[in-house]
Amino acid sequence: MKEKVLGIVAEYNPFHNGHLYHIGKALEITGASDVVVSLSSNFVQRGEPSMVDKWERAKMALLQGANLILELPSAFSCHNAGVFCSAGVDLLASTGLVTHISFGMEETSFHSLKSVIDILIEEPPSFKKKLRQYLNCGNSFVEARSLAMEDMIPGSGELLSQSNNILAIGYMMRIAQKGYALTPLPVKRIGRRYLDEALSDLASATAIRKAVKSKGLDGIIAQVPESTFSILKSAFERGRCAVEDDLLFRMIVSSCLRSSKDEISHTAEIREGIENRIIEAAKRSSNLEELVEKVATKRYPKARVQRHLIHILLSYDHWTNVAVQRLSVPYIRVLGFDDRGRHLLKKMKDRAKLPVIDKPRHIPSAYGETITNFEYRATEIWEMLCTFPQRRREIVQKPVII
């Protein structure tokens, strides 16, 4: 009988009590022997730098039940939900070991979930027509898709409007599209929703980050495992965290002001003249929140604007983005492992469908080199957001071993 291995796509920004619950519940349901995590790099899906670097977050996960942590490079981790989910699933599938993929959902019992996924994959003419109509009314893509699906399957609109559900459906769509032999395992979320800013014992990562920025670490001691708190405390004391919005704002504005309109228009995902709003807002804003609000519209919600700004900062160009969406992840990079993870790595030598690396090195493809070069640039820029940056960390850092 094939050994069950649980896969999770995560940011762990930071790892909190809800994440601990999720891992425990998924292991309980599946009876899996090991946990492999596809972990976002230093820039995350909502267009923000991670609080602490990817190796520190890998350590958080390893100390709380994960066995092997793989990097989801910044070119994929700081992207729309479709790219983020697809790349995360592709990475886990490429190990040749993962049998189950688990994720949180606000509601796991929606009766027509398979029908929703089938429509999203096949995009029948009736759905595409409704989607186009709602987009033409100025709705964001997420809102338009939710409204169109509600017309097709009553009750499904709310399912597609909640952040965790959007990601969950993205994972299941990718599994179905690629025909992966992976069993999806939704786990009903408990506690606060993903973007809820209220602080409780099961607070969201959003609430935890907000509390850290406004009150410091002491305000979150009840919301995270002791090991996470210890890692965060050490990182803050060493100046190894990226939580200063003012510094990020100045770096983004500098990037916008030194770039021509044509250069900004050729940045990943920028279209429909949004570069004009970005350029004008960069000239007139005094802080990051104001900059995002000046650019945001009904069609371009704040998270999308934040990604645009980070893409400008990282010089994420249109053609790299085209390749990313067409080719997905080109290698498996190991961020950390424990003893069981070491055993998994030995198995991956024979089963992995992509090259397995622990540091950036020559990847036998121009595309692979493009992704490693982008990751190097993203990590160096993340380091500039720290009080005490560690240059060339991307090149010299070894995997975390627990």
Q: Is 98 annotated as belonging to a binding site?
A: no
Q: How many CB atoms lie within 10 A of CB 112?
A: 16
* Lookup: tokens for 86: 């697809």
Q: Is 139 annotated as belonging to a binding site?
A: no
Q: Is 67 annotated as belonging to a binding site?
A: no
Contact 401, 338 (CB under 8 A): yes
Q: Is 22 annotated as belonging to a binding site?
A: yes
Nearest residue to 183 (alpha-carbon basis) of 14, 5, 368: 5
- Locate all alpha helices (DSSP H) within 67-140, ordered by sequence: 74-77, 81-94, 113-122, 125-136
How far out from the chain centre does Cα 13 lie?
A: 10
Q: Is 189 annotated as belonging to a binding site?
A: yes
Q: Is 10 annotated as belonging to a binding site?
A: yes
* Lookup: tokens for 313: 């900062």
Give the CA distances from residue 37 to residues 13, 23, 26, 223, 380, in Å, rounded to whole numbers and listed in that order.
Answer: 14, 10, 13, 21, 23
Residue 202 DSSP symbol: T
Residue linked to tokens 């500098």:
254
For residue 72, the cross-strand partners are 40
Q: Is 124 exposed, middle or buried (0-12, 13-18, 19+ CB in 10 A)?
A: exposed
Q: Is 16 annotated as belonging to a binding site?
A: yes
Q: Is 15 annotated as belonging to a binding site?
A: yes
Contact 38, 102 (CB under 8 A): no
Q: Is 312 annotated as belonging to a binding site?
A: no
Q: Is 12 annotated as belonging to a binding site?
A: yes
Q: Is 171 annotated as belonging to a binding site?
A: no
Contact 187, 32 (CB under 8 A): no
Q: Is 21 annotated as belonging to a binding site?
A: yes
Q: Is 20 annotated as belonging to a binding site?
A: yes
Contacts of 9 (CB under 8 A, 6+ apart): 37, 38, 72, 84, 85, 88, 89, 91, 92, 101, 103, 167, 171
Map 190-232 to HEC letters.
CCCCCCCCCCCCCCCHHHHHHHHHHHCHHHHCCCCCHHHHHHH
Q: Is 19 annotated as belonging to a binding site?
A: yes
Q: Is 24 annotated as belonging to a binding site?
A: no
How far out from the chain centre does Cα 169 lie?
A: 15
For residue 356, the cross-strand partners are 332
Q: Which residues define the annotated binding site for ATP? A: 9-22, 104, 164, 189-190
Q: Which residues define the annotated binding site? A: 9-22, 104, 164, 189-190
